[in-house]
Structure 1
Amino acid sequence: MLHQPKLTPKPSRLFKLGLLVNPYAGIGGALALKGSDGVEIREKALAMGAEKKALDKTRIALEHIVSIKDQVQLYVASGDMGEVLAKEMGFSYSLVYQPTNTQTESHDSEATAQALLAQQVDLILFAGGDGTARNVCQVVGSSVPVLGVPAGCKIHSAVYAITPAAAGRVLKQVINGEIVSVSDAQVMDIDEALFRQGKVNARQFGEMQVPTELRYIQAVKMGGKESDELVLADIAAHIIEIIEDNPEQIFVMGSGSTVDFIMQELGIKNTLLGVDVIQNKQLIASDVTAKELLALTTNKSCKLVLTLIGGQGHIIGRGNQQLSADFLKKLGKDNILLVATKTKISHLSGRALIVDSGDLTVDQQLSGLISIITGYHDQVLYPIANLQSKDPV
């Protein structure tokens, strides 16, 4: 039987959890109204005595992290959109949005999602149905992981946990720093007007990144051990697909053997201990200095491909000082493509990753959860330490 390591690094800082509750999600279900989208439907449901269940379902999820609430800072909208639960359950919280009307609408969900993004939360937990998922997706996209608590009439989207309790269990894993996979999940919705006529017309509106419980058995080969060459080939295929999909974008290739393998798969000569720059699968600069890199990327759309130092966990500041604080500041965390095998990650024994750019502001901006590409369309969430914290690692 394979042993699944359980990695539990000490939290480097408070986990910034965004919470968004659609208090009217699902109110039309018990009344056979086939959904709750639209002012008229909600008013009709309330007039018929509908009960709002979204808060209760969100409470079930949050109960799984009450025991570790000292590790969490909640960011919420006022009233039933989240503040009520945060206060009731004793979480430390910050108010980020206040609806103008008692009956909240889709624009309130979108405004709350925008406010949560501005707070640079680590993950957004939202409760609702497919309509709420659409609202969140329209604002968030793949910029931050999300996790849905099923509370609506229509739950076609893959961004929801199977139950509110399941959402709570996954959320607790993420906060505890355990290795948790993250994958793209479809956001679906159906036309409620047609649905009430007995017709199902489901459409995909987008994708969001969702954390899922990591099962090592899905990624291991050859007797329970990762085959480095096969796994690296999968990682390379993922990165190459991104490069091919973005021919106008500049890709900065960091140092290290994992990035070297990707360059070999591209058929491009690589500087193992340096930084190279490519575009449209062609080398445009080799072994660049920090100054040269800034000049090449200023006002250009670019991504950085880099890996971690095995056993240490440094991703910036050890052997890649060409990646200056000025460059990283302009690049932004969302444009970092971090690659590593799960075996390499497990050798960290739960220690958080380290960024040492020489600029404390940049180090702070890069701290928190990051997705690590561990295979073809396979990623895990892992923490980057906040070195300004009293207990950073």
Structure 2
Amino acid sequence: MTGPAVGLVVNPVAGLGGRVGLKGSDGAATQRRARELGARAGAAARAALTLRHLPGTELLTAAGPMGADAAEAAGRSARIVHRAAGPDTTAADTRAAVRALVAAGARLLLFCGGDGTARDVLDALGTGSRLPVLGIPAGVKMHSAVFAVHPRAAAEVAAAWATGRGVRLEPAEVVDRDEAALGEGRVGARLYGRLTVPVLPDRVQHRKTGSSGPDPATPAGLAAEVADRVGPDGLLVLGPGTTTHAVATALGAPDASLTGVDLLRLRADRTARLLLRDTRADQLRTLSAAPWIALSPIGGQGFLLGRGNQQLTPELLRTAGRERLLVLATEAKLAALAGRPLLLDTGDPALDAALSGHIRVITGRRSSAVYRLSA
């Protein structure tokens, strides 16, 4: 192997609750419930995808599901520098693995997980650590600014860092969902600290910014446009977020989830009935007709798919088709992206490529903008 040593730690249960609508994977009870609902862990596969695109570096990692399994799946040799205390790994195991990788000489730390894993890495290194860190996105939310936009992008950034070309090191925020904001009807993020991240333009995501909700007149206009497109008796899958929740309320379904994916049916009077709240992927898979899918990008980040809406599987998205994908955003939300594209990370590179391109974004009643959608 050549090049500086790269350390890898994988949170084996990251993202476990996404497909089954649990909105996260933290805690033994949530993980147990996710498995009861048929969830399967996917973090190792995400890490392996990064490693397949990152040749020529010495790899240090933890044993078994915390890294070595992903290295083996990618056909990579790795030096094991840490073993978990037991078969069921915990946040303490992640912190211990990070410290072991640093002690063994890792010059760049890759971690695979979500915001909870990012917080564990922060706890192990301390805020303001100068060791470069980069997240391979595998969780449910991933609001922090320490993640690559998808696993292949993580490999691109790490490879550029290893050669010293085109990468700058910047402090990046580690955040997690703000539960107090949720209680006030907003989807916000709480800052926990900062880590040093190697950055390539458009390959590392921005942090989520909070929202106080759209102007009161906007949801009614968005809802009217949605009703026009879907039509009477049409099925509507509505993604999470402040904007989409306000649209659901304007359609007469105020009990829709703020952070989950819901299924509604449009009525002849242009209102909607909530059929399923906080749906799971398996429930959406059994729909009798192709639904419309309405989503709003995450404020500040621009993610449309792959962050907090993993219930929308590649299979469902292909069934619905690009023509049934409704993108909803206020003009202010689009302006805040400063020209950066809306982002895709469905876990299916072929689908991401098929969905990419310019798409019409509904910004209000009889108002829209053409905006770029990219993987």
Structure 2 length-normalised TM: 0.50
From the CA coordinates, give the structure whose radius of gyration is larger: 1
Structure-1-length-normalised TM-score: 0.48
